[in-house]
Structure 1
């Protein structure tokens, strides 16, 4: 039995059902990445895994017990969640925001400890925001703010970490840094990580377990090398492409057809690309 799973999970916003009868077992001590087109239910699923959204029916299970039956503090000690668009309190400093990740571990008789200090310091160093400790979060760029939020999630030091599009607002160098950090945290701390990513190539490169969703249902899941095919990309994203080995990692690399050109015959670019891949 995996620590985090769903059973016949149905999620809805008012009268609109977004996720339908979802059965998902998150592999322990692995990096799982959920991908899919916009509005497919991937972020909604992640919110439910972190108990930010109550199921319409079915359940999310932590160690075999429904999240809805567990105390909030116990969940916060086990599951760290970085939502897609977090909002910081006005004028809060970077250090103070990151320190809020330690709240689940504090008690009324001990508000701050050496362990809390070490966790916050390490989290800021690993996300390269230590130099910003005294700055107001309001003053930071989008990329800097995103790294501060990730630091707060890391400071929580949970065994399960849920990140909803953690590379948003980041340039390509910082995207790679963050995803490398995720892999390192998984390896060093044996932490189970679930990510939602838009970039399918990044997902294929960093995931141990890939979950492809469409219209609120799982279309395919498993190791990226087994899941990512041209047929799957066409089915899930409506994109004609070829899939080739990444020259660096060997993971699947999605190459879309040639961009539109004036006078080009419709479908010719995709046909040409497919022939080249076949050869």
Structure 2
């Protein structure tokens, strides 16, 4: 990639602190390559949010980090081991992933959905136990769904349904969580509700979270670290105030905008400017 002023915004992470990293990975589907030679390090105990325009490779990278998509080149390393060489059950005990728009079987209750998060801990010699029961109850309590455990998932509101899926990931009792657009199709109030939950999981339960978001202002408000992508490459990475700049918005999103302090949190707030975008017409 041609060097730009944005290159200086990429902040390295100290070697000893990284549990999950992508090293020179190339990714794609069929004959199409989407990501090539990408390096990414995930800060432990923090919320890292990946932003970028549609089709830039955000979800593709998240799938590779979660072992759902094998790398064509390079490798993903989890706790010092190549993730593609680690048994699936071992990965599932430390890393949980919530894909875009997951679907539950018709009639499945919230409690049964959350209980599925315990599957990595099951074996032929170890069936359902008191520990599993406790993990499910704790996950439901964290998401405020204890009273809805017997309700079918398909009867929940969008926000409740998303919290149910997060509960399943919590019941898995992993300390690394990957969330692919967890606020999709939710109204603003429910988006904030879900992201407040994510922040609590990080601050109170010590979870490390990597998520993909489209809303730049919510990403800036709830992330400790932002990763901005364009055309399958990382353009900038660091604290929200370092990444959300007018120059980055023009470079990555083709957006004319002002960046001002959020009056509530002081985090960067993107205010689109009047006039045409900087994107070439198609």
TM beyond 0.5: yes
SS at match of 1:231: helix
Q: CA deviation at 1:175?
A: 1.5
Give the equivalent residue in structure 2 for 1:135.
151
Q: How many residues align?
A: 262
Alignment of 1:223-262 (within 5 A): 223-258=239-274
Q: CA deviation at 1:59?
A: 0.8
Q: CA deviation at 1:7?
A: 0.6
1:222-242 alpha-carbon deviations (Å, 9 max, x no partner): 011111101101111111000
1:105-135 alpha-carbon deviations (Å, 9 max, x no partner): 2232221222211221222222232232222
SS at match of 1:46: helix
Provide the rounded CA distance (Å) in 2 between the counterparts of 1:192 and 1:22: 21
SS at match of 2:93: helix
Q: TM-score, normalised by structure 2?
A: 0.88
Q: CA deviation at 1:248?
A: 1.3
Q: CA deviation at 1:13?
A: 0.2
Give the equivalent residue in structure 2 for 1:16.
32
Give the equivalent residue in structure 2 for 1:261.
none
Q: Which runs of 4+ in 1 moved over 4 A?
A: none
Give the equivalent residue in structure 1 for 2:4.
none
SS at match of 1:121: helix
Of the three residues 31, 37, 52, the one matched with 2:68 is 52
Structure 1 232/205 Cα, relative in aligned 2: closer, same or farther at 3 Å? same
CA contact 1:18–1:41 (8 Å) conserved in 2: yes
Give the equivalent residue in structure 2 for 1:82.
98
Q: CA deviation at 1:167?
A: 1.2
Alignment of 1:156-167 (within 5 A): 156-167=172-183
Give the equivalent residue in structure 1 for 2:223.
207
Q: TM-score, normalised by structure 1?
A: 0.89
Whose radius of gyration is greater, 1 or 2? 1
Of the three residues 27, 30, 39, the one matched with 2:43 is 27
Between stretches 117-126 and 139-148, larger displacement belongs to: 139-148
SS at match of 1:183: helix
Q: CA deviation at 1:91?
A: 2.4
Provide the rounded CA distance (Å) in 1 between the counterparts of 2:220 and 2:157: 28
SS at match of 1:134: coil
Of the three residues 116, 132, 138, the one matched with 2:132 is 116
Of the three residues 99, 123, 129, the one matched with 1:107 is 123
CA RMSD of aligned residues (A): 1.7
Between stretches 148-157 and 220-229, larger displacement belongs to: 148-157
Give the equivalent residue in structure 2 for 1:154.
170
SS at match of 1:186: helix
Provide the rounded CA distance (Å) in 2 between the counterparts of 1:145 and 1:89: 13
